[in-house]
Amino acid sequence: MVILWTDALIFILMAIIVGLAFYMRSQEHIKRPLKQIGRSRIGMVSLVVLVFFVLIGLLDSVHFKAGGNKTNEIVSLLDYWATPLRERGEKTYSAPFAVTLYSKEMMTLADGSTHWDYPRLEFGGSHLDDPENQRLDDILQKGLYGFAQGAGLVAFFMFLSWGMLAEQHKRLIRSPAATAVWAVAFVIVSVSYALVYLSGYYHVLGTDKVGEDVFYQAVKSIRTGLVIGTLTTLIMLPMAVVFGILAGFFRGWVDDVIQYVYTTLNSIPGVLLIAASILMVQVYMANHEENFTSVVVRADMRLLFLCLILGVTSWTGLCRLLRAETLKLREMEYVQAARALGVKQGTILLRHILPNVMHIVLISVVLDFSSLVLAEAVLSYINIGVDPTTYSWGNMINGARLEMAREPIVWWSLTAAFVFMFALVLAANLFADVVQAAFDPRRAGND
Amino acid sequence: MTNPLLAVERLSVTFNHRHTVVDEVSFVIYPGETFALVGESGSGKSITALSVLRLLPNNARLSADNISLNGDNLLSRSESDLCRIRGSRIGLVFQDPMSSLNPVMTIGSQIEEVINVHFQLPKQAVKQRVLELLRQVEIPEPQLRMKDYPHQLSGGQRQRVMIAIALAGRPDLLIADEPTTSLDVTIQAQILALLKTIQQQTGMALWLISHDLALVSTMADRVAVMQQGKIVETGKTADFFSNPQHPYTRKLLQALPSMDSCLAHAVEEKPPLLCVRDFSCHYPIRKGIFKRIVGYVRAVDGVSFDIQQGKTLALVGESGCGKTTLGKSLLNLIPASGGQVKINGVDLSQLSGEPLRQQRANIQIVFQDPFSSMNPRMLVGDIIAEGLSALHPGIGLDERKARVRQLLQQVDLPEDSAQRYPHEFSGGQRQRICIARALAVEPKLIVCDEPTSALDVSVQAQIIQLLKTLQQEKGVSYLFITHDLAVVAEIADDVAVMYQGKIIEQGRVEQVLTRPEQAYTKKLLAAVPVLKSDN
């Protein structure tokens, strides 16, 4: 077992979320909005998609040394299971489900003559004798086989839960939300089974310039996206919330100081700060090489610092919003009533101000989540993003810059990154909408 | 009998196919008369008016056997025909003159706009008509005023401009939807007098929508009472008020606070609880880069009064006179600028920090708006217990819960309210929760800042009754801040009249209300609409 820094933070975050969930279950008045989320079809479906992404991310966060202690190669559980995908690289570009490379090459035939044609791939579709005629049938057949496996698994769990549940709970399963959840789980599991099974024989999303499997890259990028989205938020949130409501509530010199700090920070170009700190980290790692022996450890350190510096530069926007909202809330009559009752100021902040700005926090966190994933792509473009060896959608999009200019065009890297990113961000947005509606008492029960 | 101007038969309005807001309502309005539609909030009176003009929101469904204006069936008219009818044959005046005028247009051009829609007149004639209208609604110096923007006018003047706009199309019928609710009582009297004068001049019919029975009794020829979407009683004003038929109408009339009730108070001197001397509260006006103080707004300016134990002092005044500022600065919610506040001999103005926090249990406050005075994300039980846990941290959880149950019982709310959120309660119930919250720390004085002005008449009567009962049981004193003199008569022992930051008259309630000495107090009293039950 090797525990990287980001791994540790991710598991701490998971523990906090699980703990919160248990705490919320024990609170009678929080149970009602939770039930409302449970009844919402969109909420539950997007939750299933999110959970699926998070599970992959978690699998990718359990690291260990592959060859015992002899080698320095650190792999994750996901890497371990996807070893064939990881190791079976081609020479260069190949299209999804292709059996040949994307460009023609000079080949020497057995009789010594040369021939200008598309060479067969080393692994993709290499089991076929006559690709021209067999390929389509083979893909369909293998895809269906994988799909059936996944479908069978979901059906098995469905029957299992049906048999285990008491009569009064079966009503829950028949609700529209539960039906939707089963349907989405069915589609996701079956399709991913089919894809996984197929990727044993083909490169389902093609290969990139150095012949690496794009499907594998896209799946590996999930963890990077989640880490950047969540850890950055985790760093940015306390600063934004604490400074924002302190400035709004106490006004006077506290407000002046905080406003001064964020105005100054805002007027420094964020890219400069990020570039400087990333360079600093690189210098530090070069000077302490003995601590960063593995490529994975180095890349992880850089990812962590990217999150840190993105967090430090991105709290000002939310802080401004929260300050304005707090300025409004502190004049509300319930805050004045609390002051008249002799409630201490810290308690007023925690009990009256904080819960009433949480909807803003929730919305901006989800919006930031998507913009952070995008920021990562932009930073990779100028080489101060994640380590070039880290798989990330940003790196994939960055690489696709040149591919889009090729003739014929190489479209699969960009498409794969786009589809994965889109699914994650959309699911997060939809889920946040539902959560917000459920926890806003004025809207609760109306929809 | 003449032919009706407006006839409505079996009008129903349903929202989202579920909530029937107006339920088979039928009535007629005759030319030149004043017809009043009275009801509590949510009874569907505004929706009835809007549905005659077909100005309903999209999720509303309208059905009616007949809506006709001068025998002209409005139901069969197209939307573009109705556009012409609105404004030219039916004028409309809304409640809130702040939001009904466009803030970036001068009032003259806003009136011109309406004239140009309905009449083809040369430019000079339009100007003439605008001046004529402004003169008709008695705006001084109309030539200058027509170039003003809405924010340069007072609330009463804005409402006059709204009436001028409604009159611009020379309508046969003017619908006035709570035209004076957001205005002070003296301004209200002026606007009502203006509406009467204009009605006599033009001979148009006036459809008055109001919740205020006393106002209706002075204005209307005929009255209809609406309850939960149905008209329960219609009649001539005189018959209606002397001999109400429907039990709901009787209940409404009984709930009405009456100016005579102050005579029933017993006179009994008690030791003073709160002594306020030379109390003032000034806001600095800052200007320039260095925020130099160039002057002060004297919101409260050298006020002195006493409140006796277990008695109620009513603080009366029009909006902007500083009565709310005074109430809040007594609790140190707004810093005071000078003077003395002694409660039970302890001078609050000398205290700060922890000693002040401990004294806070003695004075509590109940606010005007029951919707913004409770944290929407807290359970009612926690809201009530907030003061207990802040000022008496020693009290255990079980005892606190028992106290909350007891308080809920005292304000006549069911016990399970503690586990619910504020938005699940009506306005009156919320005000009860606020009273329970204030009572929780067993205060000696409660500042009630217009606690009933956002409530319906019948609910208002219940809240006042509750406040009185609590006073008898617990001997708590009230500083009752209000603009409504009729409520003062119901609840107060003493009255202080406030005008521009100063108390200009104070004394026993029956003395001030029946034999006022100051001209301003007389003007206030004269402006209060009084129920005319005997004519």
What pLDDT, in 10s, does the model give residues B448-465? Answer: 988 888 788 888 888 999
Structure confidence by residue, pLDDT tens digits, B362-421: 899 999 888 888 888 888 999 999 888 888 888 888 889 999 999 999 898 988 888 888
Per-residue confidence (pLDDT) for residue A323, from 0 to 100: 94
Tell if the CB–CB gap between B375 and A333 is shorter than 8 Å: no
Of B358, B361, B367, the CB nearest to A337: B367
A355 is a domain residue:
yes
Per-residue confidence (pLDDT) for residue A28, from 0 to 100: 63
A105 is a domain residue:
yes
A8 is a domain residue:
no
Collect all residues with Cβ–Cβ distance below 8 Å to B393 and sequence separation of at least 6. Answer: none
A166 is a domain residue:
yes
Per-residue confidence (pLDDT) for residue A49, from 0 to 100: 92
Nearest Cα residue to B354 out of B393, B401, B399, B301: B393
CB atoms within 10 A of CB B335: 9
Q: What parts of chain A have a pLDDT lower than 50?
A: 444-447
Do A266 and A190 share a domain, yes or no? no
Q: E-assigned strands of A1-113? A: 63-65, 74-76, 105-108
Do A321 and A362 share a domain, yes or no? yes
Tell if the CB–CB gap between B367 and A356 is shorter than 8 Å: no
- List the domain range (segments joined by +) for residue A420: 220-446
A108 is a domain residue:
yes
Do A224 and A280 share a domain, yes or no? yes
Structure confidence by residue, pLDDT tens digits, B421-433: 888 888 889 999 9
Q: Write down which residue in A170, A199, A228 finishes a domain.
A: A199
Do A134 and A165 share a domain, yes or no? yes
**Amino acid letter, residue A310:** L
Q: Tell me the ipTM for this assembly.
A: 0.79
Rg (CA), chain B: 26
Q: What is the mean pLDDT of residues B506-531?
A: 85
Locate A210 and state its tokens.
Answer: 């150095």
A30 is a domain residue:
no
CB atoms within 10 A of CB A381: 14
Quick check: A166 contacting B, CB < 8 Å?
Answer: no
Record the pTM.
0.78
Q: How far is B208 from chain A (nearest CA, A)?
A: 33
Contact (CB, 8 A) for B68 and B255: no
User: Across the A/B interface, how many CB contacts are shorter than 8 Å?
Assistant: 78
Do A278 and A311 share a domain, yes or no? yes
pLDDT at residue B533 is higher than 60: no
Alpha-carbon gap, residue B501 to B481, rounded angstroms:
14
Tell if the CB–CB gap between A343 and B358 is shorter than 8 Å: no
Q: Write down which residue in A146, A170, A199 finishes a domain.
A: A199
The total domain count for chain A is 2
Do A141 and A265 share a domain, yes or no? no
CATH assignment at residue A417 = 1.10.3720.10
Q: Write down which residue in A168, A199, A230 finishes a domain.
A: A199
Do A132 and A264 share a domain, yes or no? no
Do A313 and A405 share a domain, yes or no? yes
CB atoms within 10 A of CB A270: 17
Q: How far is A444 from chain B (nearest CA, A)?
A: 10
Please spell the DSSP secondary structure of A399-415, one letter per residue.
HHHHHHTSSS---HHHH
A77 is a domain residue:
no
A29 is a domain residue:
no
Tell if the CB–CB gap between B333 and A339 is shorter than 8 Å: yes
Quick check: A334 contacting B, CB < 8 Å?
Answer: yes
Chain B residue closest in CA terms to A342:
B357
Q: How far is A326 from chain B (nearest CA, A)?
A: 14
pLDDT at residue B277 is higher than 70: yes
Do A429 and A389 share a domain, yes or no? yes
Structure confidence by residue, pLDDT tens digits, A136-181: 888 899 889 989 998 998 888 888 877 777 666 666 667 788 888 8
Do A303 and A352 share a domain, yes or no? yes
Nearest Cα residue to A328 out of B372, B24, B61: B372
Helical (H) or strand (E) element with B295: strand B292-308
Number of helices followed by number of strands (H, E) in chain B: 20, 21
Do A375 and A252 share a domain, yes or no? yes
CB atoms within 10 A of CB A291: 11
Do A225 and A190 share a domain, yes or no? no
Structure confidence by residue, pLDDT tens digits, B305-355: 999 888 899 999 888 788 888 988 888 888 888 888 888 888 887 777 888
Tell if the CB–CB gap between B375 and A352 is shorter than 8 Å: yes
